[in-house]
Structure 1
Amino acid sequence: MDDRGGAAAAEELVRASGTGDEAAVSRLLGRGVPADTRDAEGRTGLDLAVRGGRDGVVRLLLAAGADPEQTTGPYDEELPLVQAATGGRTGIVRQLLAAGADPDRANRLRATALGRAGAEGHTGTARVLLEHGADPHFRWKALTPAEWATRFGHTETADLLRI
């Protein structure tokens, strides 16, 4: 692939990942497009697949070697695991943890996946994170995940996180 072809393929992989086009993602990965390639805006396929809840695409990208610990977001401020937990995407959280994502790694805003799951009231996601060793006492902006859940009225999640 020449540079132009490589750039076009990168754009195509990221775009297909964001729309959930598993066939296109699989074809592009099979042609040798790196799983962690970035588009012109610096976004990766994993970033957009996690954001869009594209479980199948996440599976394909991780199997092709995408880094579950890569920084994502328009300013490289986010992590796939924190992003998935924020959206309550429990299946993707499981995939990322199985691929080696650190359950306690904080994003650039110092939020962890468990803190975000607590703040958003995603009880199932919080349960999976706890099962994988996430620290329920880690403070983000001076509050624990249970305190975030309480602050936003997520009683069931708060009860789970009070350990």
Structure 2
Amino acid sequence: MPKLTERFARVARLILLAAALASGGAATAGSYEDVLDAATHGRTSALIELLDRGIDPDTVDAFNNSLLVIAAREGHVHTVRTLLAYGADPKHRNEAGDSALMLGVLKGNREIVDMLIDAGAPLNHDGWTPLLYAAFQGHLDLVEDLLLSGADVNGLAPNGANALMLASRNGHIDVVRRLLETDIDLYQETDRGYTAVSWALERRNTDIAELVRAAQAERSKSSELSSELQ
């Protein structure tokens, strides 16, 4: 384990113990491992006991995964609900930049995703976003929920890809159809020059490439008509 990570883990343990002692709880040396284990395995009763003893609901592991991030990653609905009830921060992101919402989306867990959206988890920020993950994985229901909740359809991944490009690349035609109903950029390019059409064709998703081309033609026609009317 890198020295920085070891130092982070030690600091997290100290914070945990200090919080527990300050609240009058009888914290033990194993409390840190116990609370991480409870979040990882969805042992909600054990988690509640630890939280009631004063354990910080925003305790993190050596990789800056909060208890909420861990529970969402593992798909533990009741544990996520409990942590939110105890005030866990839905905005927290780990070392990789993933939030509980992003990992819930990645796993396709709609109940967790909707819970976190209602709790105020951020939808839009730099880098990978929940919508990009949903499009990449082809989770149409989550794409719909995120769009209705205010997700920026033109948010970009670090390589410049938008949600349409990711769905086109991975062959998720239903997601492509839904995104084409929005004002998403149909011509966005990655840092290597890929577009939704070129990525679809490279992956032999010709039906998707045709859909995007038809949408480009329709949007161009609408733009020309609008210009003529002005």
**Is the TM-score greater than 0.5?**
yes
RMSD: 2.1
Aligned-residue offset at 1:152: 0.9
Aligned-residue offset at 1:44: 1.7
Larger radius of gyration: 2
Q: Which amino acid in the other structure matches residue 109 of structure 2?
A: R
Count of residue pairs brought into register by the alignment? 157
Kindly indicate whether structure 1 or structure 2 has the higher relative contact order, using CA contacts under 8 Å at least 6 residues apart.
1
User: Could you tell me which residue of structure 2 aligns to residue 104 of structure 1?
Assistant: 154
* Alpha-carbon displacement from aligned partner over 1:74-117 (angstroms, at most 9, x marks no partner): xxx42221121111111111121112111112122111111111
Alignment of 1:14-163 (within 5 A): 14-39=69-94, 43-71=98-126, 77-140=127-190, 141-162=192-213, 163=215
Q: Which amino acid in the other structure matches residue 128 of structure 1?
A: R
CA distance in 1, matches of 2:199, 2:93: 33
CA distance in 1, matches of 2:74, 2:123: 19
Aligned-residue offset at 1:142: 2.2
Which TM-score applies when normalising by structure 2? 0.62
Q: Which runs of 5+ in 1 are unaligned?
A: 72-76
CA distance in 2, matches of 1:86, 1:127: 14
The verdict on how the C-alpha distance between 1:26 and 1:7 changes in structure 2, with shifts beyond 3 A counting, is closer
CA distance in 2, matches of 1:6, 1:40: 18
Q: Tell me, yes or no, if the aligned pair for 1:7 and 1:39 is still in contact at 8 Å.
A: no
CA distance in 2, matches of 1:85, 1:61: 18
Q: Which amino acid in the other structure matches residue 61 of structure 1?
A: L
Which TM-score applies when normalising by structure 1? 0.85
Aligned-residue offset at 1:145: 0.7
CA distance in 1, matches of 2:98, 2:197: 32
Spell out structure 1 runs of 4+ moving beyond 4 A. 39-42
Aligned-residue offset at 1:37: 2.2
